[in-house]
Structure 1
Amino acid sequence: MKKYYSFLIFILLTTTFNAQDTIQKVEKRIYTTKPLNGTEAPNIDGVLDESAWDLVEWTGDFIENEPDENTPPSQQTKFKIIYDQKYIYVAYRCFDSEPEKIENRLSRRDGFAGDWVEINLDTYHDKRTGFSFTITAAGVKGDEFISQNGDNWDDSWNPIWYTATSIDKDGWIAEVKIPLSQLKFGKSKEQIWGLQVNRRFFRNDERSVWQRIPQDAPGWVSEFGELHGLLDIQPQKQLEIQPFGVTQLDTYPEEENNPFRDGQDFKLNGGLDAKIGITNDLTLDLTVNPDFGQVEADPAAIALDGFQIFFREQRPFFVENKNIFDYQFANGQDNVFYSRRIGRTPQGSISEIDDEFIDRPSNTTILGAAKFSGKTKNGWSIGILESVTSREIAKIEDENGNRREAIVEPLTNYFVSRVQKDFNNRNSFIGGIFTATHRDLGNAFDIDEEDPNTDETIEVVGTRENNLNLLRESAYSAGLDFRHNWKERKYFIEGNIVASHVTGSKEAIEETQKELTHLFQRVDADHVEVDPNRTSLTGTGGKLVGGKSGGGRWRYEAGVFWRSPELELNDIGFLRQADDIRQFISARYLFLKPTKFYRRANIKLDQFTTFDFEGNYNRIQYQVEGFMNYQNNWWTELGFGHKPRIFTNTFLRGGPRWRFSDENFAYLFFGSDQRKRFNFTVGYSGSRAQQNSFSFNRFVLRLRYQPFNALSISLNPEFRLEPNKTQYVDEVDFNGVPRYITGDIDQQTLSTSIRLNYNINPNLTIQYYGEPFISRGRYKDFNFVNNAVANDLSERVTLFDTTQILFNETDDEYSVDEDKDGVEDYTFDNPDFAFVQFRSNLVLRWEYIPGSELFLVWSQGITGDGDSRQHLFRSLDDQILGQQPENTFLIKLTYRFVL
């Protein structure tokens, strides 16, 4: 009944607050540009002394947007726009009565440091997407692709464009030249584009805009003014080819008698990236043997719940235009397309024999990939991606030189297609997605190949020893989505549906049914069961959400998500857990007008409940959170919540449904003015469960310092304490009955990310990133599950007494005589752990001409097991500072040919 009450509350909110809304009519501004028509194009040098700028008038009269919307800004801004058949030219005059105080801080590209000004162009005029070009007073570029009506700004988009700045007695000047080939627009006698110019006045942390956008507007791009006067410009078909070469040296500790670990490896590599404009709207991106050696390492993480960890995509080929391929069908990070699956770590395991050495590839090689994407003038968004990854082979050799090889990843093809169509005056869209994954398992077993070193035939083993038979042979998914906005985009309803179908051997589909995502083997589940004869699995998921996104002070939404037990997306998507139905409702109140105390603030209330497909009522949660930015630009973010009901189907990994004790949680973060050269953030988040069965404490400190314009440093230490009296340990057999063992864990985790950026000039930067990570867990007071759904902790588990359990130090395991008859009933391994990791990247990046780059990279890494009996800082000293790291030295040179 609770879910029906939530929808009733949503309806009441809609009718109540709708009566309070007043629609602000803001006049659309229009700027009319003019062509050069034979006039010499301006020289981009930061000085406005060319006659070409006299062809058009200045436009200005900017209005403040933040913090005090619709008031005169502290300093005014003017701009001009002219064009020819190849470029658009923009001139800015950013007035400043105290030019000596202009903040011209250097940063890497997309750093957005100090004073800046930007132009946003909605060239499709779809009122949802746009291109943003930002220039700082120091001459640093920033470029982003805007989507979701301003809710998403993708700074991975790196077009070629030109700019220069200067400071004089009246303020600062910027000149910009943007090639039309870097923009997308349709063919038309006169182009009409959405236009916005936005300036940040750093000293006052103030934003002013050319086209006023009220704080209660339903979006950003939909509220732009218009750029007129673009007559007879021809779409520019983009053709760029970017070959690259890489030389790499790896050094590491030499391992005695290990032929694969002699202390160093050296290799040369090369590849090609290309961008071909099929039309001005649609682009074909190609990559052959791509190299991502300059990409920053993923942050370290450890998860005791058994679920996979989501890492964001950082590889340039997959990042660009990723908004077109995105299909986030439910809550959280669940997505039909998760590009990190392409090039993943090989999935096959290897059965080792004593005294064998293994050379195992760390990633699957991407042989090539092609991406066709873009958006047409009539509202079609199109994305097609095709990628092939190679068959990966691990080499195995014993002490006598006998060598064998094992296939650990088969040849695999990945395909994604995505389409959306705008209609109803761009207020609505409908779309779809289709994905396919095919693995060549037929050629993954018992293959003979020639050894290139000896010309001898080697047995390449692809058998059950490396679990390739547990991989699914094919996987398909398809979905439909829609969104409709009405009443000037203030209200919306959106939804989607997803279906998946996977096929494979009986072993593969049985393994799929038993994975943590599904757990068909749950002992108390009547709606699912493992069928060992199945060779396919089909499931569905989706969402339906509606609410208010603009107008007035209130925002609210309510909806439902679902994932059927059979839904499976993890061949090319990301799905944490199936068998879930979730209802939610959220309301937020905005304090739009600043006062003497704060600049902006908001408060939010959330509620959700979850069920499984058997009808079990698993969870309900309430949460209140708020944010306030004070007049001195310090800020506070806080929240608290209550979880009166927490059941989970996954905790015992196939065992019965488990109940957690009722829980309360809270967090508080506050920070200083982030414009200052030194600023900080301090935060705490924690939770407490009844009967002290579980607690969580996270302490966060973020320090940032910029001693001078060219150098910035950040230090972000974090410490976690996670004691839990019933942490899952193992499942054992006790007289033919499953016995689920849990224990009292004292888990502590310490990590510190360090970043240093030194900017010699806007195109030459040195960047350092490093992160030591240590997580240690010690167990005691082991117990077994007695009644998994009992409210009282003492009834939920039964503690072993000292006569029942004994630790065998030689075998590093616990033996249990549960019935106290003097005979060992079962054993389980010592679960204590200490995971230690250090990763770092030092990168010199030089964009020696626009679009062409030189990278010098030094990466270090240490990963290992520490001593769980040691203090965290002792592990830091012994396992990181006291160990010889693995090093990678890399030189990568790219050259972009623009044809």
Structure 2
Amino acid sequence: MKHSGLFFLALLLSLFVQAQDSTEVIEKKKYYTKALGEYAAPTINGILEDKVWEQVEWGGDYIEWQPDENTPPTHQTQFKILYDSKNLYIGVRCLDPEPDKIVKRLSRRDGFDGDWIEFNIDSYFDKRTAFSFTITAAGVKGDEFISNNGNNWDSSWNPIWYAKTNIDDEGWTAEIRIPLSQLKFSTEKEQVWGFQSTRRIFRAEERSVWQRKPVDQPGWVSEFGELHGLKNIQPQKQLEIQPYTVAKVETYEAEDGNPFQDGSDNSITGGLDAKIGITNDLTLDLTVNPDFGQVDADPSAIALDGFQIFFQERRPFFVENKNIFDFSVSQSQAGNTFGSDNIFYSRRIGRSPQGYPDTSDGEFVDQPDNTPIIGAAKFSGKTKNGWAIGVLESVTSQRQATIVNGSGDRRKEIVEPLTNYFVGRLQKDFNQRNSYIGGIITATNRENLPEELNFLHEAAYTGGLDFKHQWNNRDWYVGGNITFSHIQGSEEAITNTQQSITHLFNRVDADHVAVDTTRTSLTGTGGNVQIGKIGNGHWRFESGATWRSPELDLNDIGFQRQADDIRHYTWIGYQTLKPDSTFRRVGINYNHWSAWDFAGNHNYMQFNTNSWQNWKGNWFTNAGFNFAPIQYSNFNLRGGPRLRISPWMSFWNSINTDNRKKIRFSAFHNGRKAVDNSFKSYYVEAGFVYQPLNALRISAFPSLSINHDKLQFINNFDDVGGSPRYLNGEIDQRTLSMSFRLNYTINPNLTIQYWGQPFISRGRYSNFKHVTDPLAKRFEDRIVQYNDNQISFADGTYSVDENLDGLEDFNFDDPDFSFVQFRSNLVIRWEYIPGSEIFLVWSQDVTQSGNPAEGLLPSLGDNIFGQKPHNIFLLKATYRFVL
């Protein structure tokens, strides 16, 4: 380790010396626009026939960016820009002597397929954020809000703008009109905006840019050219109102005798969303009785480790401007630092009720599926002075379950209290936009918790400070954050939190934590610090550390998998900058991680090397290898002692054929195996995308997962003959699924999309055992396995007689399982005028418990085909008023 440390220091020194070399200074290009003056505005038809375009010169002289940076592109591109008091107009000519080879693939908005031209506008001129407008040769629009200097591209931003395209003998042309109300800019009489344009020539998979941007130069927005000539334009305060109505019909299998499950339900709801420009920089979003129905269903998943599963947010109100509210606890280039952990996880708002009523035999329950949001407001934006501001306030209603008995008597029980959620976020740029410092604070308050919901926290507060400083032309950076949490509740609630899998203060061999059943609050901290180099040359690196104290708890409004963790990580990467006869680009990486708990136990060490390749024919491949010589788990025994995990190795590999072809294939597989064979797993996914027509795309991706673990947790028994039993078994788990998609685009504003996924996960247990020496080096010394004489099975229950005295010492339910699910969505979307839409949605769900003794395919078929699905039919209409 001493020699490896010296090598690492030497490498850092060489990188630092390299950084001191003078970096290439790229001259900023400038384009000078003009006002329309006395001319009429151009007609947006894509033909560039209006005389008004003659007022300004062509901008052009694009330079290739990918694959061979700083070389002439295959075909040149030209543009002109004009403006008036309300709009920005862009005319563009994409030269191409073979117009019949221009690829015009259709898709819905933000499809970004085929040939396209893109314009990025940094109207704040803050060199960190920008508005992106893309138009394809087929006329499909795409728009994204760029933040964090190009590290985040938010396609949920849907401004109102207009564009048309046309193909002629010289290539293709486009005309664009962008209302100034959709941009944010200052009140200065003469303005300078950051400006960049990118063109994609699809058949060559080539990107060229107006302002040269070296591939080894970090950042994106900071490297823009400049748009000059904007004079006497006034910021347009935004005022948009979007009412909606939803008609919903559900059908499902009726349950005999259950008055709440008669086979169908229907409803009609309505609401209102509004967007108000308080200033040109800051916007207030309001919603009354919002519709948060998801067009896309969450994919099926099952977890045996006990930790929660992270799902992406899809609800429009929360997705838009989500970058402002983001506060990741410990994302890193190296990964493996619980990168999904975040102070704000918006899916906590409007979640399914957390309580369930106590019932007796013969009683039926009408349990609400979700928690309605009474109202929500979001105040967000970024000022010209570099202040990023975000404030979100939301109130969810109290929810009650209705219980009825056989006599028809009804009662109600609260399953979710009235709850207020608040998030405040602030960041400030300084040092010529090379640095920032920021903070966040959240509050969750639940009103008048009844006794049956005493397990919930009455209040939860989290917060944090973050910073980043870049230097040497943004090649180098140092950054980090510190996080805190404070939760309050009843003794029962705080005890439950201490014993939850995130914390496990009750684990028997932990001297630095202990359950205190009298506590009514818990306060913890976390954070991250890192230094890295990501520009100027072939070499890159990042090194840092992250921690979560045992008491840190973010899960009331955030997402956190586990606490009591201190982790160090390092990533070193090398990448080529120029294509050669074999590859367009190649990257090689090295990573390592180590982790400790707050008692000082060294719980984890892992090494990784991987490489990715972009081949000359535009195929992509990658491969990686891991080795973990040290691993202990504080969580595997769910409150039992710290457990040694045998050293293991793993690999992964993927291949993707050229995505420009009408049919393309991809495959991915990985495997993991303990050196002593105590566990092994394998996962493979392979499939195809077929595009027989520009308007039609079909894809299918089946996958198979195999998990064989000789020490899979089942349950803990506190007292068996005077000592605890940490019961485990050998699991043989198989998971089979397939994701199928069909997208048909009638025109860019009218699309039909279908997604379906059959899913089955089956687990069979055998060779039951309990852990006796959890830290033993040899796997066989950690456990005692029960023989056939000690364990018997009858009526779905295993009975254990350890000392063979004829008396049962303890019993447990059969842990075998077979989870079968089929989910699908059919969505017809029509944007009948810009910003206003009609959705017709048909969603299906079949969820069953299969027979673990059956094979995967028979069990899948028996529990999907012939079953009555849960059908949801939705008709949603919105109209967007721009005032």
For 1:890, the aligned partner's letter is: L
Distance 2:860 2:307 in 1: 26
Show the counterpart of 1:102: 102
Answering whether residue 770 of structure 2 is matched by residue 780 of structure 1, we say: no
State the secondary structure of the residue aligned to 2:79: strand
Answering whether residue 425 of structure 2 is matched by residue 418 of structure 1, we say: yes
1:20 offset after TM fit, Å? Answer: 3.5
Aligned residue runs from structure 1 range 47-58, under 5 A: 47-58=47-58
2:500 to 515, 537, 546: 515
Show the counterpart of 2:269: 269
Identity %: 59
CA shift in 2, pair 1:29/1:646, >3 Å: same
- Contact between 2:294 and 2:315, CA under 8 Å: does it hold in 1? no
1:18 to 9, 16, 19: 16
TM-score (norm 1): 0.96
State the secondary structure of the residue aligned to 2:317: helix
Aligned residue runs from structure 1 range 445-484, under 5 A: 445=450, 463-464=451-452, 468-484=453-469
- Contact between 1:294 and 1:843, CA under 8 Å: does it hold in 2? no
1:5 offset after TM fit, Å? Answer: 8.6
Which sections of structure 1, spanning at least 5 residues, go unmatched?
446-462
- Contact between 1:679 and 1:705, CA under 8 Å: does it hold in 2? yes
**Could you give the per-residue CA deviations for residues 805-829 of structure 1, whole angstroms, max 9, x where no partner exists?**
1111x2x111101122221100111
For 2:850, the aligned partner's letter is: G
For 1:499, the aligned partner's letter is: F
Answering whether residue 773 of structure 2 is matched by residue 797 of structure 1, we say: no
State the secondary structure of the residue aligned to 2:676: helix
State the secondary structure of the residue aligned to 2:18: coil
1:735 offset after TM fit, Å? Answer: 2.0
CA shift in 2, pair 1:584/1:6, >3 Å: farther
1:753 offset after TM fit, Å? Answer: 1.1
Show the counterpart of 1:335: 342
Q: Number of residues paired by the alignment? A: 873
Show the counterpart of 2:878: 894
**Could you give the per-residue CA deviations for residues 265-311 of structure 1, whole angstroms, max 9, x where no partner exists?**
11110000000000010000011111133521111110000000000
Show the counterpart of 1:868: 852
State the secondary structure of the residue aligned to 1:386: strand
Aligned residue runs from structure 1 range 710-725, under 5 A: 710-725=695-710
Show the counterpart of 1:150: 150
Show the counterpart of 1:601: 586
Distance 2:318 2:260 in 1: 32
For 1:109, the aligned partner's letter is: R
State the secondary structure of the residue aligned to 1:471: coil
Aligned residue runs from structure 1 range 195-594, under 5 A: 195-330=195-330, 331=337, 332-440=339-447, 442=448, 444-445=449-450, 463-464=451-452, 468-594=453-579
**Could you give the per-residue CA deviations for residues 372-391 of structure 1, whole angstroms, max 9, x where no partner exists?**
00000000000000000011
- Contact between 1:6 and 1:585, CA under 8 Å: does it hold in 2? no
State the secondary structure of the residue aligned to 1:819: coil
- Contact between 1:10 and 1:558, CA under 8 Å: does it hold in 2? no
- Contact between 2:356 and 2:367, CA under 8 Å: does it hold in 1? no
TM-score (norm 2): 0.98
Distance 1:701 1:526 in 2: 48
- Contact between 2:486 and 2:521, CA under 8 Å: does it hold in 1? yes
- Contact between 2:343 and 2:554, CA under 8 Å: does it hold in 1? yes
State the secondary structure of the residue aligned to 1:722: strand
1:149 offset after TM fit, Å? Answer: 1.3
Distance 1:87 1:8 in 2: 60
CA shift in 2, pair 1:513/1:105, >3 Å: same
The two structures, once aligned, show a CA RMSD in angstroms of: 1.2
For 2:478, the aligned partner's letter is: I
Show the counterpart of 2:174: 174
Distance 1:844 1:163 in 2: 23
Distance 1:610 1:863 in 2: 39
For 2:136, the aligned partner's letter is: T
Distance 2:117 2:724 in 1: 65
Show the counterpart of 2:666: 681
- Contact between 2:657 and 2:664, CA under 8 Å: does it hold in 1? yes
Show the counterpart of 2:333: none
For 2:413, the aligned partner's letter is: A
- Contact between 2:851 and 2:859, CA under 8 Å: does it hold in 1? yes
- Contact between 2:294 and 2:314, CA under 8 Å: does it hold in 1? no
Distance 1:20 1:431 in 2: 31
State the secondary structure of the residue aligned to 1:470: coil
1:395 offset after TM fit, Å? Answer: 1.1
Aligned residue runs from structure 1 range 606-645, under 5 A: 606-645=591-630
Show the counterpart of 1:726: 711
- Contact between 2:108 and 2:751, CA under 8 Å: does it hold in 1? yes
CA shift in 2, pair 1:87/1:5, >3 Å: farther
Show the counterpart of 1:827: 811
- Contact between 1:294 and 1:857, CA under 8 Å: does it hold in 2? no
State the secondary structure of the residue aligned to 2:780: helix
- Contact between 2:434 and 2:470, CA under 8 Å: does it hold in 1? yes
**Could you give the per-residue CA deviations for residues 417-473 of structure 1, whole angstroms, max 9, x where no partner exists?**
000000000000000000000001x2x43xxxxxxxxxxxxxxxxx43xxx100000
Which sections of structure 2, spanning at least 5 residues, go unmatched?
331-336
**Could you give the per-residue CA deviations for residues 563-591 of structure 1, whole angstroms, max 9, x where no partner exists?**
00000100000010000000001000011
1:11 offset after TM fit, Å? Answer: 4.4
**Could you give the per-residue CA deviations for residues 595-643 of structure 1, whole angstroms, max 9, x where no partner exists?**
0100111011000100000000000000001100111111211000100
CA shift in 2, pair 1:236/1:425, >3 Å: same
1:263 offset after TM fit, Å? Answer: 1.2
State the secondary structure of the residue aligned to 2:770: strand
1:653 to 623, 635, 638: 638
1:10 offset after TM fit, Å? Answer: 5.4
Distance 2:33 2:271 in 1: 42
1:13 offset after TM fit, Å? Answer: 2.6
Distance 1:187 1:512 in 2: 51
Answering whether residue 655 of structure 2 is matched by residue 670 of structure 1, we say: yes
Distance 1:489 1:83 in 2: 33
1:8 offset after TM fit, Å? Answer: 6.4
Show the counterpart of 1:457: none
Distance 2:379 2:5 in 1: 41
Aligned residue runs from structure 1 range 2-17, under 5 A: 11-17=9-15
CA shift in 2, pair 1:596/1:45, >3 Å: same
- Contact between 2:429 and 2:437, CA under 8 Å: does it hold in 1? yes
State the secondary structure of the residue aligned to 1:108: coil
1:184 offset after TM fit, Å? Answer: 1.2
- Contact between 1:10 and 1:557, CA under 8 Å: does it hold in 2? no
State the secondary structure of the residue aligned to 2:126: coil
Higher mean C-alpha deviation, range 428-437 or range 835-844: 835-844
Show the counterpart of 1:448: none
1:758 to 744, 747, 750: 744
Distance 1:146 1:7 in 2: 39
Show the counterpart of 1:701: 686
State the secondary structure of the residue aligned to 1:876: helix
1:885 to 845, 855, 869: 869
- Contact between 1:217 and 1:551, CA under 8 Å: does it hold in 2? yes
For 1:267, the aligned partner's letter is: S
**Could you give the per-residue CA deviations for residues 233-288 of structure 1, whole angstroms, max 9, x where no partner exists?**
11110000000011111011111111111111111100000000000100000111
Distance 2:349 2:829 in 1: 26
Answering whether residue 833 of structure 2 is matched by residue 849 of structure 1, we say: yes
